[in-house]
Amino acid sequence: MSERTEHKVEKSIQTDFSKDMSYGDYLQLDPILSSQHRLSDHHDEMLFIIIHQTSELWMKLILHELTAATTAITNGELERSFKMLARVSKIQQQLIQSWGVLATLTPAEYLEFRDQLGSSSGFQSYQNRQIEFALGFKNARTLSVYAHDEKLYPLLEGSLQAPSIYDVTVREMHRRGLSIDASVLERDVTQDWEWNESVEKAWVEVYRDVDTYWDLYELGEKLLDIGSQQQMWRFNHMSTVERIIGQKMGTGGSSGVNYLRRVLDHRFFPELWTVRTSL
């Protein structure tokens, strides 16, 4: 680019936003960037706040994509859901990597402001709970954490009562002629998903006849990507917590690392894992 052209391009850049919307206006950066309020004077509390705030923003986008993908699958538009589910997997990678940034916080540094957190804890993240519900990991008892909040409680209750993305996937498999037990199709969707033989056999048929069921096959693989990444996020969460607080109890009253380790035993979309052995 010649110097003259470069100068012309620079002169064309808009600098007067007295009447037009700017980048900061569109993104509402003022309220976002003024929402980091340290409760201590410790330098590293800013890291702790921003990691969790950005994680919640990514979770908001995951829920946005999962909701749209669930609707698409319900309407039999499987291919439309693929881009949304692929995006969820990419977002999960961002969340997984964020634990590495938080892990730069040492135990001594965290102790400088940990008491300021009071009883607040990541366990109380209602968006993370909604994501688990959307993926089929249901537990009505967790709603008690939000009983004090007149807005959050009905929101979480609605998420609990809504069919998960796996529920609507299995219903679509049935609609496509694959044999699914009536007990699965009519199950109480507020309960955690449990492995079912008829569902595994249906997936076996899909994986053995990819040409006939290509879209269901692709959907299964995309769901497995998400389930696998969610487990990786959980594992990195546990490892980071252990690195920073060891075996101490969590600020919200949980057993901390021991609780996070037990959650790792849960597996999303179990038939998509066991079908590998059955094939």
| C-alpha to C-alpha distance for 147 and 155, rounded to whole angstroms | 11
Amino acid at 81: S
Question: What is the longest distance spanned by two Cα atoms in the chain?
Answer: 73
278: number of Cβ within 10 Å: 13
Say if residue 32 carries a ligand binding annotation: no
Say if residue 110 carries a ligand binding annotation: yes
Say if residue 148 carries a ligand binding annotation: no
Say if residue 217 carries a ligand binding annotation: no
Long-range contacts of 119-126 (CB under 8 A, 24+ apart): 119/251, 119/252, 119/253, 120/251, 120/252, 121/250, 121/251, 121/252, 121/253, 121/254, 122/52, 122/237, 122/252, 123/250, 123/252, 123/254, 123/259, 124/252, 125/56, 125/59, 126/152, 126/155, 126/156
Say if residue 262 carries a ligand binding annotation: no
| C-alpha to C-alpha distance for 181 and 105, rounded to whole angstroms | 50
Q: CB of 206 within 8 A of CB of 178?
A: yes
Say if residue 114 carries a ligand binding annotation: yes
Say if residue 52 carries a ligand binding annotation: yes
- Residues forming the annotated binding site? 48-52, 110, 114, 237, 251
- Residues forming the annotated binding site for heme? 237
- Residues forming the annotated binding site for substrate? 48-52, 110, 114, 251
